Amino acid sequence: MYIYPLSARFEEKLNNPYIKDVISSIENYFFCVNKQSPSAVGFFNVVRYFFRTRYYHLNWIEDLPDKKGGLLQSLFLLLIIQIMRVTGKKIIWTAHNKISHYQKNLWIKKMLMSVLARKSHYIITHSHEGVEYVKRLNKNKNTVKVIYIPHPVKNKIHTNSVELTNDIIIWGNIAHYKGIHLFLQHLIENGLQKKYKIIIAGRFTEPAYEEVLKKYLSGNITLINRFIQKKELEKLIKTSRIVLFTYQQEYVLSSGALMDSLGYGKNVIGPDIGAFKDLQEEGLVTTYADLNDLIEKIDKCLGSSGKTSREKLKNFIDKNSWENYGLQLYNWLNQR
């Protein structure tokens, strides 16, 4: 199996752990041909392993146009997909988002997602909404092979009690699509800017967005603009009552940060979409319909109600571990 992306250009401390976790989860069932040689040439690296590879496990590949030499890489992707199919290679595409988070080269990204929906042999999505979304992208719905596997989660629950010093934490890479500015603006417009103690922690992916958020800051709304190391992040999450996600609905199907937060056993609130909606139906997170509804849900969680069942959460985490992800993928491919 060839895993994408696995890049030599990433700093390890800033790299999304998802790919590393995928590789660890499948190693009992597949040999990862490119594990020891992260690519310095982007997706062109597949040529090196072409005759050794049966499965291509592709993640966020629709964002190729934004990479160095992105247009050329995108054309190469379209070509190699055809070659893979003719030579009996199998394409596994994980559909993480409805659309790219960034507007640059958007029409090419949409085209790539449409091609992937039609040409991939297997499609994984981490939300039930993603199944329907992929089917809409695919004109021949009867032949698409798509499976819902919840985003795996790690058990990070600690039984030691800590002092809760923040009402809300919003964490992760900070970008416009996450809608943080809309939430803060709503607080100000309704005179609620002093009601909650809020921490916004993470590195900006769009420098201009920092200036947007700065105008909403106050004594009880704090911004930490940098990559948050693991131990510091863990402390910030553990000392917060609520982990809040304000993602705009047109973008997101699933979220690694959501599952990390769930793994800490925290009260999570997010929009009524994708994986958030799935977990709400499991009784594990709280979702909101609009910003007025969000305020009501925050107040409820800060009160005595709205607590997640620890036993129910533990059962979900045990069932949807990274170890089980590898087994599920192996069994699914074998059945096909």
pLDDT greater than 70 at residue 15: no
Triad 200, 239, 209: Cα angle to 5°: 5
| Tens-digit pLDDT profile for residues 229-270 | 989 999 999 999 999 999 988 888 999 999 999 999 899 999
Is pTM beyond 0.85? Reply is: yes
pLDDT tens by residue, 97-109: 988 877 789 999 9
SS3 162: coil
pLDDT tens digits along 119-162:
999 999 999 999 989 988 887 655 568 999 999 999 988 777 78
Residues 6 or more apart from 95 whose CB is under 8 A from it? 113, 116, 117, 123, 124, 125, 130, 133, 134, 253
All structural domains of the chain, each given as residue ranges with its CATH number in brackets, are 2-152+320-335 (3.40.50.2000), 166-317 (3.40.50.2000)
CA distance 177 to 69: 25
CA nearest to 286, candidates 265, 303, 307, 304: 307
Q: What is the mean pLDDT of residues 190-212?
A: 93
Instruction: Decide: helix, strand or coil at residue 175.
Output: coil
- Residue 16 binned pLDDT confidence (cut-offs 50, 70, 90): confident
Alpha-carbon gap, residue 195 to 272, rounded angstroms: 24
CB distance 237 to 171 below 8 Å:
yes
Across 178-194, b (16+ Cβ under 10 Å) vs e yields bbbeebbbbbeeeeebe
**What percent of the chain has pLDDT above 70?**
95
Per-residue confidence (pLDDT) for residue 10, from 0 to 100? 52
Q: Give, in order, the Cα–Cα distances in Å from 296 to each of 75, 168, 175, 197.
A: 48, 14, 25, 16
